[in-house]
Amino acid sequence: MSFADKTLTCRDCGVDFVFTSGEQEFYAQKGFTNEPTRCPSCRQQRKTLGGGRGYGDRNGYGRNDGYSAGRGVYSGERQMHSTTCASCGREARVPFVPRGDKPVYCSDCFQDQRRSSVRGR
Ligand SMILES: [Zn+2]
Ligand SMILES: [Zn+2]
């Protein structure tokens, strides 16, 4: 295999940069089939920005000031959904989205159900 220097255009800043034969060899060894799409400085910049993980993108990190959309999004806090208990008709709060194909019970009735199903066999 032989490689020759290539001039590519950075898709971020539009600057022409050289994809050297040495780099092409390196890419080939790594099994990369794609040519780099960014100039070295843009690549470097993206690396320092946190390895492709959209820093400052809208994944809600660092914001927990109780806005409606932010509630329950955090891992660690379970999102509760309120529905009607199938047994007593009171409000039941459950950590999953009630889908209607199963009866949902409030915590009191849920415990009763469990107890009676254990006892009732
Ligand atoms: Zn660039
Ligand atoms: Zn109930």
The ligand placed nearest to the CA atom of residue 37 is 1
Ligand 2 centroid to 88 CA: how many Å?
4
Higher pLDDT, 113 or 92: 92
Ligand 2 centroid to 69 CA: how many Å?
29
Q: What is the pLDDT of residue 50?
A: 64
pLDDT in tens, 3-60: 899 999 999 999 999 999 999 999 999 999 989 999 999 999 988 876 545 444 444 4
CA distances from 77 to 49, 80, 117 (A): 28, 9, 30
Q: What is the pLDDT of residue 63?
A: 45
Ligand 1 centroid to 116 CA: how many Å?
68
Q: CA-to-CA distance for 87 and 5, rounded, in angstroms?
A: 75
What pTM does this model have?
0.38
The ligand placed nearest to the CA atom of residue 111 is 2
The ligand placed nearest to the CA atom of residue 8 is 1
Query: What are the sequence ranges of the domains in the chain?
Result: 6-48, 79-119
pLDDT in tens, 67-111: 444 444 445 567 888 999 999 999 998 888 888 888 899 989 989
For the chain, the 3-state helix, strand and coil shares in percent, each to the nearest 5, are 30, 15, 60
